[in-house]
Structure 1
Amino acid sequence: MSAYAEERRADRAADAEQRRIDQAAADARRVEREKAADERAARLNQQRQEERAQAREGRARARAERRAAWGEALTAGNVYRKGTLALVTASALGSLPAQVLHFVGISPMLLPLPLAIEGAAWVMAAGVAYADERHLPAWVRWFLRLLVLAAAGFAASINYTYGIHLPGLSDTDGQAAGIGLAAVTLLGPVLFEIRQWVTTLSADTNSPEERARRRHERKRRRQHRSIAQLADRFVSAAPFGQLDFEEAFAHAWEIETGTGTPGMTPRLHQRAARSAAALTRAQSAVTGSAPRRGWPIGGLFRRRPIEHTPAAPNRDQSAETYVYRSTADLEVSAPAPITPAVAVGELPAAPVVSLVKSTDRVPAGAVAAESTRPRRATGRIPDAARSSRPKRTADELLTEARKATVGWTDRELTAEGIRKAVRTSPAKARVLRETLRAERDAAREARKQAEQSAGTDEAAA
């Protein structure tokens, strides 16, 4: 009996436990359903809010687009163009009926005449616009304008005659009607032509830089007509698009004047040489001493070391040395023809010339950097003014040049730069330049061979 009771209690406990488990599962499912319903409601609410926000943004965007469209439509240019077309239409509607009635009153067979006359005026006006668009010659446009005026003037005279003879009007009213019809007939073509004129001018109006460039081009062609014509010949001789006008103009300038500096001519180079000589004489007159290779220390110029050269034995040798001074940077060591000097604005400093006025003319293409002419006015140079620098050998000059040009590039390695750096003659400067260039080439070749040898050894290893 006790065993049966125990089994019943166990069964009831199991049933109770099962009911509790079922109830917990049902509660969990209800919670999940409520949670899903809440999430779905939240999503729907968020979606409705996003839709309302998008609708508001769409309405705001539509309003902004309408405002922008109204703003673009009501600009001065659009109002002028569309207003002109409206006035032209009103003019045609006002003038054409009077012409039709006038010619039909004469004979119904004359009905095509007003259409032809009025149409001729508008077709010629459209022809002016087409000529402007195609950039046709000016005489074509003016010829079309004369045809427009002729057709419009004839139509205006017909309308004036028809207006003053309208029945039932007094003389004053008839006169006013005739003048009004004639004016409205002329108003349309005139307004259309003015509109086309303004449109063409507006299209041709570019940026201030472009206008300034066109003014510069016209001024250059006017002031340098022969050079511009020669440049045009170069451009026309070359294949289309292969030669730019600026390059052709620079080449033509160098051919005509002998110098590649824009604006400079042989006469201007000669004036520059005379001005430099006059400046040196004036500075020497103020200081009261003989000219030397240097400038006053007082602020504007840096004093350069004094270097004196022996006086030339004769005038020919002096003139030859003078020429060599201005052509130190030539690629050849032999004397070369006189080349044009740089422009006044490009001179690094005022060159120094002798105070003795020579009867020979200063070469137009050379500015003296140093004069070796004998001093006649100041007498013999005192010993205190002579340079105390001993005469350097070729090896010493080469050593100084190596030290001075150790950081120079190949482009900076010129005879003129070496001459100024080591204070030597142009002929020696050219020799030093060739020697240093040969040394640099040999060093580069040695480095190249060493790199090739190192690469071969690495490949073999």
Structure 2
Amino acid sequence: MSSWFEERRADKAADAVQRREDREFESKLRRDERRKDRDEKRTDDAQRRRDRAARRQARAARREKTLTPGNVYRKGTLGLVALSALASLPAQILHFVAIHWSLSPIGPALEGAAWVMAAGVAYADERKLPVWVRWLLRILSLSAAGFAANINYQYGLSLVHHGLDLADAKTAGLGLAAVTLGGPLFFEVRQWVLTLSASVVDPKKRAEAKARDKHERRRRRVFKDVVARQEQLLLAAPFGTLKAEEAFARAWWDVKGAPLGVTADVIADRLDAEADVSAVLAYADQTPEKLAVEYLLADIFKGEGGASGTLSGKPSGGPRDGASEARTALGGKGKGPDSSTADTERLKPLAEADLEAVRKLASALGGTGRLSARNVREAIGCRNEYALRLRDAVRSEKKD
């Protein structure tokens, strides 16, 4: 019996624990839901604040863009133009209606002519039409506006018959004439300002266009023959198929016979400079050690060559033959020339026949400026040092 009561108490305790756990779980769920609702509300409030800030910023940007000096000037000018038209048109209509009712369209026709011609000036500026077209439209617009202004002035003076004194009638006439002329004039000044401001919108592009025009003028002045050939190529090719720069490069090759920027003088000077550098490097290769060996061998075998220290003939037999061959081999190997041969070339007088041959070569090439050590060496069959002396001698004759 006691066991049943114990089980009963255990069941009640377990139920109590379960109910407590259920209450705690439900309480946690409610807290989580309230926390989630607060987080969502906080997120929604933050989003609404961001949206309001974005709308305020957008309105401020629109106001800033709308209230810029350029927009105020453009829209303000159009407002003045509209007010001037509203002020001047009724007086013209009443003036012609007073004459006869059938003349009522004349007033709107005059005002419309002035405004249509003024709009034509703006259209001509947009399409970059010739200047004379713009000035013709301006003259027509101002003529129509001037005729309408005269009519309005006469109408203002006629108000004397409607109870106004003469001074007030003159003031009314002048005011009507001013607004009649002021509308087209304001519109014309507006168009001038817009045209001038459009030309200075991008100073970099304008500077680039100016530099490009200057480059084109200098090219035409310096390379007239190449530009003439370029124009021939552009005219010969179908329209738009050949670019101007490509045509200029092809024209350069046709006229100068070389890639763009290269001429015969440039090639001759380059070859001349390369030959000079080669000659200098060839003689610069004679190091002191090589010269010491040459002088030592010459001193050893000076008996065979006389007092000068150079070999006058080939020694015969014995070890001298081997020494002579060694000397010859040392003089012939390597990048540098033999010192005795170089000294001979350096001291050799210029032969008149060689000079005459170089003169003929210069004449065939088109001037001494095209002479180079290389072509002189090939024509005469000599060493670089002697070719350089021949070239310089012929060039100095031309300068003298």
TM-score band (shorter)? 0.5 to 0.7
Deviates more, 1:53-62 or 1:208-217: 208-217
- For 1:315, the equivalent position in structure 2 comes to 355
- For 1:208, the equivalent position in structure 2 comes to 203
Shift of 1:84: 0.8
Q: Could you say if the C-alpha distance between residues 57 and 252 of structure 1 is closer, same or farther in structure 2, counting changes exceeding 3 Å?
A: same
CA contact (8 A) 1:152 1:189 kept: yes
Shift of 1:202: 2.8
C-alpha distance in 2 between matches for 1:216 and 1:30: 87
Residue-by-residue CA offset, 1:174-207 (whole Å, 9 max, x unaligned): 3332222111111111111222222233333353
In structure 1, which of residues 94, 99, 116 is the aligned counterpart of residue 92 of structure 2?
Answer: 99
CA contact (8 A) 2:358 2:394 kept: no
C-alpha distance in 1 between matches for 2:103 and 2:263: 74
Instruction: Report the residue type matching 1:59 in the other structure.
Output: R
C-alpha distance in 2 between matches for 1:199 and 1:326: 66
- For 2:243, the equivalent position in structure 1 comes to 244
3-state SS, counterpart of residue 372 of structure 2: helix
Residue-by-residue CA offset, 1:132-157 (whole Å, 9 max, x unaligned): 22333333222222221121111111
C-alpha distance in 1 between matches for 2:255 and 2:181: 56
> Does residue 360 in structure 1 map to residue 395 in structure 2?
no
Q: How does 1:53-92 map to 2 (within 5 A)?
A: 53-92=46-85
Q: How does 1:1-16 map to 2 (within 5 A)?
A: 8-16=1-9
CA contact (8 A) 1:122 1:189 kept: yes
Instruction: Report the residue type matching 1:189 in the other structure.
Output: P
- For 1:446, the equivalent position in structure 2 comes to none
Shift of 1:110: 0.5
Instruction: Report the residue type matching 2:184 in the other structure.
Output: P
Shift of 1:209: 3.0
C-alpha distance in 1 between matches for 2:47 and 2:182: 51
Q: Between the two proteins, what is the percent identity of the paired residues?
A: 42
Residue-by-residue CA offset, 1:222-247 (whole Å, 9 max, x unaligned): 55365656544433432343332233
CA contact (8 A) 2:118 2:137 kept: yes
- For 1:395, the equivalent position in structure 2 comes to none
CA contact (8 A) 2:358 2:391 kept: no
Shift of 1:72: 0.3
C-alpha distance in 2 between matches for 1:200 and 1:180: 30
Shift of 1:169: 3.4
Q: Could you say if the C-alpha distance between residues 253 and 124 of structure 1 is closer, same or farther in structure 2, counting changes exceeding 3 Å?
A: farther
CA contact (8 A) 1:125 1:144 kept: yes
In structure 1, which of residues 21, 26, 33 is the aligned counterpart of residue 19 of structure 2?
Answer: 26
3-state SS, counterpart of residue 159 of structure 2: coil
Q: Which runs of 5+ in 2 are unaligned?
A: 270-278, 282-335, 363-367, 380-389
CA contact (8 A) 1:235 1:245 kept: yes
Instruction: Report the residue type matching 1:192 in the other structure.
Output: F
3-state SS, counterpart of residue 70 of structure 2: helix
C-alpha distance in 2 between matches for 1:175 and 1:256: 78
Q: How does 1:192-203 map to 2 (within 5 A)?
A: 192-203=187-198
CA contact (8 A) 2:149 2:176 kept: yes
Shift of 1:105: 1.0
> Does residue 234 in structure 1 map to residue 233 in structure 2?
yes
C-alpha distance in 1 between matches for 2:108 and 2:136: 22
CA contact (8 A) 1:221 1:228 kept: no
Instruction: Report the residue type matching 2:34 in the other structure.
Output: A
3-state SS, counterpart of residue 90 of structure 2: helix
- For 2:37, the equivalent position in structure 1 comes to 44
Q: Could you say if the C-alpha distance between residues 155 and 260 of structure 1 is closer, same or farther in structure 2, counting changes exceeding 3 Å?
A: farther
Q: Could you say if the C-alpha distance between residues 162 and 40 of structure 1 is closer, same or farther in structure 2, counting changes exceeding 3 Å?
A: same
C-alpha distance in 2 between matches for 1:214 and 1:17: 100
CA contact (8 A) 1:124 1:144 kept: yes
Q: Could you say if the C-alpha distance between residues 122 and 33 of structure 1 is closer, same or farther in structure 2, counting changes exceeding 3 Å?
A: same
> Does residue 129 in structure 1 map to residue 122 in structure 2?
yes
Shift of 1:18: 0.7
Residue-by-residue CA offset, 1:296-319 (whole Å, 9 max, x unaligned): xxxxxxxxx998766354333224
Q: Could you say if the C-alpha distance between residues 324 and 355 of structure 1 is closer, same or farther in structure 2, counting changes exceeding 3 Å?
A: closer
Q: Which runs of 5+ in 1 are unaligned?
A: 1-7, 274-291, 295-304, 336-351, 363-461
Q: How does 1:205-284 map to 2 (within 5 A)?
A: 205-223=200-218, 224=220, 226=224, 231-252=230-251
**TM-score of the aligned structures, taking structure 1 as reference length:** 0.57
**TM-score of the aligned structures, taking structure 2 as reference length:** 0.65
Shift of 1:54: 1.2
Q: Could you say if the C-alpha distance between residues 353 and 37 of structure 1 is closer, same or farther in structure 2, counting changes exceeding 3 Å?
A: farther
